[in-house]
Structure 1
Amino acid sequence: MKKVSLWVAGVAITASACAQNPTAVKYGNLITPADAKKHLSILASDEFEGRETGKPGAEKAANYIATEFKRLGLQAPVKGSYFLDVPLTENTVDVSPLTINGQSFANWKDFVFQGSADVKVNGTEVVFVGFGTPDELAGLDLAGKVVLWINEDKPEAGKTANTSYRMSEGRRAIVKAIQEKKPALILAANEGVAAALARFNGVNPSGGGQLSLKKAEDAAAAKNTAAPLFIVTAPVADAALKASGKTFAELKTAAATAKQSQVVKTTAAVTISATKKDVKAVDVLGFLPGSDPKLKDEVLVFSAHYDHIGLNTKPGATDKVYNGADDDGSGTTGILEIARAFTQAKKDGKGPRRSVLFLGNVGEEKGLLGSEYYTDHPVFPLANTIADLNIDMIGRVGEEYVGKPDSANYVYSIGSNMLSSDLHKIGEEANNTYTKMKLDYKYDDPNDPNRFYYRSDHYNFARFNVPIIFYFNGVHADYHGLGDEVSKINFPLLAKRAQLAFYTGWELANRDARPVVDKADAPKGTR
C-alpha cells in the first residue's frame, strides 16, 4: 500500500507541476502566424534594403520597431526615447591582391583579412609553424616574417579535432603567441574556408566597410601593432610552400605527429590601407514595468537583432536585396509578438510581476556590436537582469531537419544550462507544459565547432553571468543568401517557437525567485 500511495502522490504532484496556466495560455495565443506574417512582410521587404547597420534600411527598421513599441504601450526607457545610440566607426579597408611568387590571390575569394590596417608587406621567406604549439614556435625568429600557420586544432588521441576555420579559444591564444614574435603577416590556412568564401564570389558582403564600437576602435588603434591575419584557403598555402616540395595537406598531416617548422624561400607582398568615418546606429528598447513592488526592479530581457547584411552589390545582379527574413527578421517579429502578448496582459491587469525589456539589437552581423554596447552601458543594471531570452532565426527548417518527421516541431536551445541549472529546468518545463516541441541541445556546447554559443547577442549577457537561452532553427541553404525571403518562412513554426520563448519568459517574470546562477565559471570567448 505504501508504494502505491507514493506512486499516486507522485503522479498528482507531476500533473500539478505540468498543469497549464490558463492566463498564460490566453496571452500566448495572441502570438499568431497571421500577425507574424504582417510584421515580417514589412521588415524583410525590399523597401528595408536588407537592414544593414549604418544604412537607411536599418534606420527604417528601427523606426518601425519603435513605432510598434509605442503602439503597444511600452515605455521609452532611454531618457524618454526608444533609441539607445550605439557609437560606431566604419573602417573601410582596401586590401590589394596578395601576391605569392608572382601568383595573385584576392580578398573575399582566396582569403579573408582580419586585423590592423595601413600596412605594406614585402617578404622574401615564409616561416611554416605547423599548429603553432609552444614546441613548434620555440626558437623561431618571426620578426618581420610572413608566417604560415595551420588554423585547426591539433589532433589528439581519443579526441575529435575542431577543423573549422572558426577559431577555438586555444587557437586565439596561439595567434596571440605568434603576434608577440612581431611577424609582418600571418597566413592562417584552413581547407574548409573555401566553401564559405564561394558564396561571396570575391565581393565583401558588407561593401568593404568594417564596423567597430568607436571607443573600442579608438583604443585598439592607439595600441594595436599586431600583425594582420589572413584566413587563407589551401591553394594560397600551397603557393607559399611551393619551394618546400610539399603541399599544405602533406605538411599538415606530418605536423600532426612530428615538428615540421621550417623556413621556405617565398616572395609575398600585400598592401593594406584604411579610412574611417563615424556611423549612426541605434538599439531599440521597449520597457514594460513589473506589477510587484518587491520584484519590479528585476528585469527580464527578450532580445533579437534587427539588422542584416544589406544590398547585393555584385555586378549584373537582378536580386538586389539580402532580405534576411529568417536572419533575423523572424526573431525581431517574434519579439514584437511576445511584446504584444505581455502588453495585453498588462492592460488586462494581468501584467508580469517583474519588469520586461524588449531589446532590438543593431550590429549583430558586424560582431554583436549593439548587444556589446548595451551590456557595457546597460539602461537597467545587469545585476538586476535575471535572464536574456535571445531569438535569432526561428522561421525556417534547418538543414539537419529537412525531411525529418519532427521538422515542423523542433528548435535548437543553446546556453540554457551554461550558467543556470534553474533556467534550463524552467525552459524544459515551459516546453513540456505548453508547446511540446523537440528541444535539440546539439549545439549547447561551448566547444561546438560552429561556436553558436558565441555568435549571437545573448553572449554579451552571458559574459556578465546573466543566464541566457538562445532559440535557433539552425542554418539552411539560404543563410546569408539572397534566398532568405518571406515566401520561405514557416509562420506556424515561427509562432510556436515564439510562444515557447513567451511561456518561458512568463514563468521567469512571475515566479517568486529569479534563476540562480550556479555555473558562473562557464567558458568565455569571442565570436
Structure 2
Amino acid sequence: MKRQFLYTSLVLLMGCTAVAQNRDAIKFSQSITKDHAYKHLSVLASDEYEGRNTGKKGGWMAADYIKAHFKSIGLKGPVKGDYFQPIDMVNYGTSQILTIEGQPAEPLKDFYIMPSTVSEKGFAFNTGSVLFAGYGLNKEGYNDYEGLNLGGKTVMIFRAGDPSAASAGKNNGGNINNKIKYLSDNKVQAVIVIDPTIDAMPDNLKNYLQSEQMVMKTKENLDRMAGPQGTPVIYVGTTTANQILKASKNTIDALKKKIAETGKPASQDITVALTASAKKTEAKVRAENVLGFLEGSDPKLKNEVLVITAHYDHIGITPDVKGDDKINNGADDDGSGTTGVLMIADAFAKAKKAGKGPKRSILFMTVTGEEKGLLGSEWYSEYPIFPLANTITNLNIDMIGRGDKDHAADNNFVYIIGSDMLSSDLDRIGKKANKDYVKMSLDERYNNRTDPNRFYYRSDHYNFAKHGIPVIFYFNGVHDDYHQPGDEISKIDFPMLAKRAKLVYFTAWELANAAKRPVVDKNEDGTRKN
C-alpha cells in the first residue's frame, strides 16, 4: 500500500512538472544558444564597429545590422513600415571669443567658457574696465568687496585660496560656485575666474570642453535651452590674467604677495578693453531606435504589447586612454543584451511561423543613446509607437555576458531589478519562469530604490517604470572592464549569456500568453495601491 501511494505521488508530481513547463516554449527556445550568441556578438563588438557610439559610424552600422536581422526573421517594421524610429537629436558645441586690448585669446589654451552655462541665446559683452576683487571672499575680518558697487561690473577673482594666516598655502578659499552665485546675485555683468590649471590643462578637462553636448529636441529640452542666459563666467589662465592686469602695472603674484603681507584686500578697477561672447552651435545627429514587431495571434489580446529592450550603443573610441587599444567594444555593455534581444526575437518568430505565436504582440526594441543619458528609451516613452496604456511590461537586458567579483565562484546567476517595484504579478511570473525552466540564482541585492548604485534608475527600463509600466531589469553586475577597452568578446561567458537570454524568453512567453496582463498594484514609491 505504501509502495502504491509512493508510485501514485510520483506520477502526480511528474504531471505537475509537465504542466508547469510549456513544450512549445521549450521547443522554440532551442535556437537561443551560445553559438548563435557568438555569431551576433562577434560582429557587434568587433573593432570594425568602433564601440557603437551614438551618432557615429559604428552606431549606424550596428543599427543597420539589427534592422537586417529583424527583417530576415520576418518581424515587421512598425514605424510607418520602417524599422527605424528616428530621434530628433543634435550636437551642441560652443563658439567662444575673448579679446584683450583687441588681441584674441585662444580657447582651451588661454581661457574657456563651460558649455553647459551657455544658453541657446548665448551672450556678448564688452567693457572698458575690469574690477579685480582678489579671492572673492566676504567673511568676518576680511571682505574683498567692502565698499564696492558690483552692479554692472565685470569682476575678476581667484578660483581658490585664502589670504588668512591660518589658511596660507591652502587651496580652501571657498566654493567657486558659491562665489559666482554671490556675484550673480549682485547683478554683475560677467565673472572672470583666474584658474592656474588652465596653464597645463588636463586632457580629461580639455576633452570634456571639446566634446559636443548631445541633446534630444523634446519640448522640455528646448524650453530649457531657450531660457534666460545666466551670468557669463570665463575661466582664464595666469598668462591671460596678467594681460588683463598689465595696464595697472600689476601681476597675479604681486597682488597675492600684497594681500598676504597686509592682510587686506587689494581690490581695484583695471582699465582694459575686453570683449567676450559665446553661442551655441548646432549640428543634426543621425540616431535611431531599431524596432521589430511581432503581432499577437489572439484578436482580443494582440493590442496589448510586451516590450523587450536592450541598448545597442556604447561609448566609442577614447583617444586619451593609455595603451594601444582605444576602442571600447562594449561586448558585455550592452552587446550582450542586444544579442539576447536578437536571439529572443528569432525564437518567437520561429514559433509564429510554426503557428505557435504569442497571443499578445511583442515589440523587440534596441535603443540608442543609453550611454548619453537613457536618451533612446526616453524618446520612445515620450513618442511611443504603441500606446503606453497598452504596454503590459518592459523586460530590459543590460549586460548579461559576464559576472562580477561577488559571483566569481559561481556564475550561474543574474541580478533582477524592479520586478516587484510596481507589480506583484510580474514578480511572481518572472520568478516562476526561472524556477520552471532555467533554475539560476536570482540575486535581488540591488532591487531597491535606495541602492547607492541607483541601478534601478540607470538603464532603459526606468523610462517605462516612470510611466507606471512594470519592468524587470536583467544585469550581471559591474566588472573591472566596465566602460573600458577591456570589455572584449574574449571575456564573454557565452553559455551564461544564452541561459540568461532564455530566462527573459521564458518570462516573455508567460507574459505574452497569460490570460491577464500583470496587475499594477504598487505606487511608484513602492506603497500598495488601494
TM-score (norm 1): 0.70
Give the letter for the 1:331 counterpart: G
Structure 1, gaps ≥5 residues long:
97-105, 130-140, 149-176, 187-197, 230-242, 244-263
1:518 CA displacement: 1.0
Change (3 A) 1:223 1:439: same
1:520 CA displacement: 2.8
Secondary structure of the corresponding residue to residue 400 of structure 1? helix
Q: Which residue of 1 aligns with 2:505?
A: 502
Query: Could you report, residue by residue, the CA deviation over 1:390-424 in whole angstroms, capped at 9, with x for unpaired residues?
Result: 001111112332x3x32x11111111111111111
Change (3 A) 1:183 1:43: farther
Q: Which residue of 2 aligns with 1:466?
A: 469
Q: Which residue of 2 aligns with 1:391?
A: 397
1:438 aligns with 2:469: no
Q: Which residue of 2 aligns with 1:211?
A: 214
Query: Could you report, residue by residue, the CA deviation over 1:176-195 in whole angstroms, capped at 9, with x for unpaired residues?
Result: x9999799999xxxxxxxxx
Structure 1 or 2, whichever has the larger Rg, is 2
Q: 1:513 aligns with which of 501, 513, 516?
A: 516
Partners of 2:80 and 2:60 lie apart in 1 by 19
Change (3 A) 1:364 1:227: farther
Query: Could you report, residue by residue, the CA deviation over 1:345-383 in whole angstroms, capped at 9, with x for unpaired residues?
Result: 111111000000000101111111111111111111100
Q: Which residue of 2 aligns with 1:370?
A: 376
Change (3 A) 1:94 1:35: farther
1:477 aligns with 2:500: no
Asked whether the 8 Å contact 2:123–2:229 carries over to 1, the reply is no
Give the letter for the 2:326 counterpart: K
Q: Which residue of 2 aligns with 1:222?
A: 226
Partners of 1:277 and 1:16 lie apart in 2 by 58
Secondary structure of the corresponding residue to residue 282 of structure 2? strand
Asked whether the 8 Å contact 1:18–1:433 carries over to 2, the reply is no
Q: Which residue of 2 aligns with 1:260?
A: none
1:405-444 map, 5 Å: 405-406=409-410, 408-444=411-447
Partners of 1:437 and 1:93 lie apart in 2 by 50
1:319 aligns with 2:319: no
Change (3 A) 1:352 1:449: same
1:340 aligns with 2:340: no
Partners of 1:377 and 1:207 lie apart in 2 by 31
1:215 CA displacement: 2.9
Change (3 A) 1:464 1:475: same
Secondary structure of the corresponding residue to residue 443 of structure 1? coil
Partners of 1:81 and 1:87 lie apart in 2 by 16
Q: 2:301 aligns with which of 279, 295, 299?
A: 295
Q: Which residue of 2 aligns with 1:37?
A: 38
Partners of 1:394 and 1:228 lie apart in 2 by 46
Change (3 A) 1:181 1:363: farther
1:86 aligns with 2:90: no
Asked whether the 8 Å contact 1:27–1:342 carries over to 2, the reply is yes
Secondary structure of the corresponding residue to residue 499 of structure 1? helix
Asked whether the 8 Å contact 1:114–1:228 carries over to 2, the reply is no
Give the letter for the 2:456 counterpart: Y
1:219-258 map, 5 Å: 219-223=223-227, 225=229
Q: Which residue of 2 aligns with 1:59?
A: 60
Give the letter for the 1:221 counterpart: M
1:313 CA displacement: 1.8
Q: Which residue of 2 aligns with 1:308?
A: 314
Secondary structure of the corresponding residue to residue 20 of structure 2? coil
Change (3 A) 1:366 1:470: same
1:380 aligns with 2:386: yes
1:202 CA displacement: 4.8
Give the letter for the 1:399 counterpart: K
Query: Could you report, residue by residue, the CA deviation over 1:467-502 in whole angstroms, capped at 9, with x for unpaired residues?
Result: 111111111111110111111111111111111111
Secondary structure of the corresponding residue to residue 51 of structure 1? coil
Give the letter for the 2:383 counterpart: H
Partners of 2:460 and 2:473 lie apart in 1 by 9
Asked whether the 8 Å contact 1:205–1:312 carries over to 2, the reply is no
TM-score (norm 2): 0.69
Give the letter for the 1:432 counterpart: K
Q: 2:364 aligns with which of 358, 362, 365?
A: 358
Give the letter for the 1:424 counterpart: D
Secondary structure of the corresponding residue to residue 483 of structure 2? coil
Asked whether the 8 Å contact 2:31–2:347 carries over to 1, the reply is yes
1:318 CA displacement: 2.1
Change (3 A) 1:40 1:182: farther
1:20 CA displacement: 1.7
Q: Which residue of 1 aligns with 2:271?
A: none
Partners of 1:115 and 1:504 lie apart in 2 by 46
Greater CA drift, 278-287 or 220-229: 220-229
Q: Which residue of 1 aligns with 2:77?
A: 76
1:320 CA displacement: 3.3
Partners of 2:87 and 2:212 lie apart in 1 by 17
Secondary structure of the corresponding residue to residue 29 of structure 1? helix
Change (3 A) 1:324 1:265: farther
Asked whether the 8 Å contact 2:118–2:279 carries over to 1, the reply is no
Change (3 A) 1:523 1:94: farther
Partners of 1:178 and 1:463 lie apart in 2 by 36
Change (3 A) 1:426 1:202: same
Structure 2, gaps ≥5 residues long:
98-107, 140-149, 160-180, 192-201, 234-255, 257-264, 268-275
1:265-284 map, 5 Å: 274-284=280-290
Among all aligned residue pairs of Structure 1 and Structure 2, give the percentage whose two residues are the same amino acid: 50
1:515 CA displacement: 0.3
Secondary structure of the corresponding residue to residue 65 of structure 1? helix
Partners of 2:36 and 2:232 lie apart in 1 by 47
Partners of 1:178 and 1:459 lie apart in 2 by 37
1:426 CA displacement: 0.8
Greater CA drift, 11-20 or 348-357: 11-20
